[in-house]
């Protein structure tokens, strides 16, 4: 089944449900799409990772002909190697060696360190949460506001509709 077809079925379920008040209602609609043959996994905070960029800007800038992901048609990863090998055409028999990781990482280890799991939710400011609850309390029945009342609060949270979150 194509992604467009599945999304259309989810859209139909959302129309059929008419009122989707919270995330659990949305999960139910997705679960019912495709005649209930969908396994929905509600993601938890710990399902997400804080990946670090181990690429070397120096190595990327000094390479003569930089290979971009959009140009790669075949990629090879070799065990115990910290380099990638790629082809940019199907006809080409030789692979291009891509060495882009920081030298310190390559010298010290044969594996890339496991990323850290997220432990806490990003959250929104109390002011924003109060505004959301004020607007929704006129629309949603009070017994269905639990999801919105339990949104995590973090006063240092950046409003992503106006700014990008700073990269660590």
Q: Is residue 164 predicted with pLDDT exceeding 80?
A: no
pLDDT value of position 102: 92
d(CA 117, CA 121): 11
Q: Is the pLDDT of residue 168 over 60?
A: no
128 pLDDT tier (thresholds 50, 70, 90): very high
pLDDT at 161 over 90: no
For residues 57 and 35, give the distance between their C-alpha atoms in angstroms, rounded to a whole number: 49
Average pLDDT over residues 139-168: 83
Closest C-alpha to 10, from 41, 46, 35, 42: 35
Q: Are 27 and 40 in contact (CB under 8 A)?
A: yes
pLDDT one-digit tens code per residue, 35-73: 888 899 999 999 999 999 999 999 988 888 888 999 999
Q: What is the pLDDT of residue 84?
A: 92
Rounded Cα–Cα distance for residues 122 and 3 (Å): 29
**Which of these ranges, 10-14, 75-79, 111-115, 135-139, has the smallest mean pLDDT?**
111-115
CB-based contacts of 150, cutoff 8 Å, min separation 6? none
Q: SS3 for 49?
A: strand
How large is the average pLDDT for residues 23-45?
90
Threshold 0.75, pTM exceeds? no
């Amino acid at each position: 089944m194509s992604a467009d077809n599945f999304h259309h079925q989810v859209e139909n379920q959302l129309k059929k449900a008419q009122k989707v008040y919270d995330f659990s209602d949305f999960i139910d609609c997705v679960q019912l799409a495709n005649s209930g043959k969908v396994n929905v996994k509600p993601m938890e905070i710990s399902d997400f990772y804080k990946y670090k960029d181990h690429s070397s800007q120096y190595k990327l800038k000094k390479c003569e002909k930089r290979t971009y992901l959009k140009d790669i048609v075949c990629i090879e990863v070799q065990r115990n190697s910290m380099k990638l090998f790629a082809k940019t055409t199907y006809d080409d028999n030789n692979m291009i060696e891509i060495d882009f990781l920081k030298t310190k990482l390559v010298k010290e280890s044969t594996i890339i360190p496991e990323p850290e799991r997220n432990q806490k939710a990003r959250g929104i400011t109390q002011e924003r949460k109060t505004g959301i609850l004020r607007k929704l309390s006129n629309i949603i029945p009070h017994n269905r506001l639990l999801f919105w009342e339990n949104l995590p609060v973090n006063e240092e949270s950046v409003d992503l509709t106006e700014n990008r979150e700073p990269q660590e």
